[in-house]
Structure 1
Amino acid sequence: MIRYGVIGTNFITDWFIEAGKTMKDFQLAAVYSRTDERAQAFAEKHGARHTFTSIEEMATSSLIDAVYIASPTSFHAEQAKLCMNHGKHVLCEKPLASHDREVEGLIQTASKNGVILMEAVKNTALPNFHSLKEAIHRISPIRRMVTSYCQYSSRYDAFKQGTVLNAFNPDFSNGALMDIGLYCVYPIVDLFGKPDDIKASGVRLSSGVDGEGTLLLIYPDMEAVAMYSKITNSQLPSEIQGEKGTIRIDHIQKLQDIQIHYTDGRVEDVTKPQTNLAMSYEIKTFHQKINRQPSSINSLETTLYTAQVMTEARDQLDVVFPADKTR
């Protein structure tokens, strides 16, 4: 049984716990919140026996084995490092940290303490992402990958009225790339590794974060395009283009329908069944790593390369966070 403490009492943590409870080796043991009232309410809601209003006390507690972090991104590095330094495994919501230097530091901390660190990126842990990986050779050589995730944020309406909520606040290391753009970039890096070069363009909002953008990732024999937005919607699918065909992906975050369209006109459906509790797959992967079962899913190498791409993209877009002072 892996006993969890959770940091963050929002809807994402609700989803995490719901998915975790479908597993036999998952136990919610403790909840952290800055206020005792909030911690108690969230613990009662989900059946946790222990609460903390001090992260330090939870990190040193013998009541938990692992920590799930779903606080704002700007807090991830400090909280994850604290927990790992006290021997706790860490599953941290994406993005793992504000910039690539923080990611490098966290990887070093995990190695030093002999604990598991994993970024909670759910789309690359899904069965259909593995189905996609298995199918790529059928259309190779690959020449282009295009990913798209554009979803108008309800918080943008408040932004336009003068209220800057967390989603568009650089103090929390937020913005479109950090939030949903990662779902476009991470699968590209997982499949093809670190690009030789990147070019970024986008719309920088008055708060200093990006509202939408496009990244071009350049490889020796192919290119990849990542399009993301929190200020517009899009119905475009994503796809991988090869000389022998194209793999069509209905939605890069959900991956619920994967089809191969061959150049000779044939269409092959390679979709696999998936539960609606998508986070269960990343939790399963995290548990496998804790139990020292080899897994290439959401590797720290992919996490670091993705962070390097995103940090460089922000530099090109002139999106600066207070956390960048530590770079």
Structure 2
Amino acid sequence: MIRFGVIGTNWITDRFIDGASKVDTFKLSAVYSRTDEKAIEFAGKYQVEATFTDIEAFANSDKFDAVYIASPTALHSEHAITCMNGGKHVIVEKPFASNEQEVLQMIETAKKNEVVLMEAMKTTHVPNFKLIKDSLEKIGPVRRYVANFCQYSSRYDKYKEGVVMNAFKPELSNGSLMDIGVYCLYPMVDLFGVPTSVKATAYMLESGVDGEGTVTVDYPELNGVAMFSKITNSSLPSEIQGEKGSIVIGKFSDMEDVTIVYKDGTEEKLDAEQEENTMYYEAKSFIETIENKEKENRINTWEHSLETMRILDQARKEINLTFPADQK
């Protein structure tokens, strides 16, 4: 069994545990939260006895082997490095960290301690993403990548009432680009590599983060567009356009409802069987990386995380979005 600890007690941690529980060798063994009350309450849902409010004690505990980190983005690097120095394998929610410098420090710590470090980007692990990747030659050469992920945040209602929730706080390295835009950009890096240029625009909120925005990139033979928002919804699909046809993607974050539309109008459905909770696939891949005694995940590589963060950094520079974490 791979015994897990978790950092973070919100819905995304419940979702990860639900997905990971479908992996035979997963076992939840410890919970960290800033308060005893939250740690004990969350642990009680899963009949887990070991709870912690001290991050050093948690990281050095012998109760677990690996940790899922879902703390605010501004704490990802600190929590990951502390846990890796405690000998723990680490899977960190996207976005990986606040900036490139933090990612580099995380990678160096993983190398030093010979532990697995992986970004929890589920999209690149789902079966339909592999089908998309394998189908690019059917529509190629690819000339345009359009990723659209606009999801109105319930926390925005509170924001408009004057209550700034974590999702809209620059001190936590949050905002639309970091929370939602990363879903559009990471798969692009996986599919096409590093762009030659990055431009960005955004609607900035008074709290200091972006509510919605667009990133445009150039490659030698194609252009990319990423549209993302936490203050609007969109019913438009995403699309990878090639000279022979297009791959149309209904729900980008899970790569659901995928169809190739060829130049002559004929269609081909790309429909692999997928678990409803697609976080299962990232959990399974992370656990297999540990079991195979590999130090780096073969799909969500350190290079992919690093290159994606460099795009996020450049996009933030374009829209004048800075975080306190950038000054460290």
TM-score, reference length from structure 2: 0.97
- The residue type paired with residue 317 of structure 2 is D
Over 3 Å counting, the alpha-carbon distance change for 1:325 and 1:304 in structure 2 is same
| Correspondence for 1:35 | 35
- The residue type paired with residue 103 of structure 2 is V
Does the 8 A contact of 1:261 with 1:268 survive in 2? yes
User: Structure 1 residue 215 and structure 2 residue 215: aligned?
Assistant: yes
| Correspondence for 1:290 | 290
CA apart distance, 1:295: 5.0
Q: Secondary structure at the match of 1:13?
A: helix
Q: Which of 311, 314, 319 is residue 312 of structure 1 equivalent to?
A: 314
- The residue type paired with residue 253 of structure 1 is S
RMSD: 1.1
CA apart distance, 1:49: 2.6
| Correspondence for 1:111 | 111
CA apart distance, 1:37: 2.0
| Correspondence for 2:85 | 85
Q: Distance in 2 between matches of 1:223 and 1:296?
A: 26
| Correspondence for 2:186 | 186
CA apart distance, 1:44: 1.1
Q: Distance in 2 between matches of 1:44 and 1:238?
A: 40
| Correspondence for 1:95 | 95
Does the 8 A contact of 1:28 with 1:47 survive in 2? no
TM-score, reference length from structure 1: 0.97
Over 3 Å counting, the alpha-carbon distance change for 1:119 and 1:295 in structure 2 is closer
Q: Distance in 2 between matches of 1:119 and 1:46?
A: 24
Q: Which of 305, 310, 320 is residue 303 of structure 1 equivalent to?
A: 305
Q: Distance in 1 between matches of 2:36 and 2:262?
A: 58
Q: Distance in 2 between matches of 1:175 and 1:258?
A: 28
Q: Counterparts of 1:153-192 in structure 2 under 5 Å?
A: 153-192=153-192
CA apart distance, 1:232: 1.1
Q: Counterparts of 1:198-237 in structure 2 under 5 Å?
A: 198-237=198-237
| Correspondence for 1:143 | 143
CA apart distance, 1:153: 1.2
Deviations 1:185-239 (A, max 9, x none): 1111110111111110111111110011101111001011000011111111001
Q: Distance in 1 between matches of 2:48 and 2:106?
A: 28
Q: Secondary structure at the match of 2:261?
A: strand
Indicate the larger mover: 3-12 or 40-49: 40-49
Identity of aligned residues (%): 53
Does the 8 A contact of 2:286 with 2:297 survive in 1? no
CA apart distance, 1:303: 0.6
Structure 1 runs of 4+ aligned residues shifted over 6 Å read none
Q: Secondary structure at the match of 1:257?
A: strand
Does the 8 A contact of 2:128 with 2:255 survive in 1? yes
- The residue type paired with residue 298 of structure 2 is S
Deviations 1:26-70 (A, max 9, x none): 000001112222211111101213111111111111111001101
User: Structure 1 residue 246 and structure 2 residue 276: aligned?
Assistant: no
Q: Distance in 2 between matches of 1:262 and 1:229?
A: 30
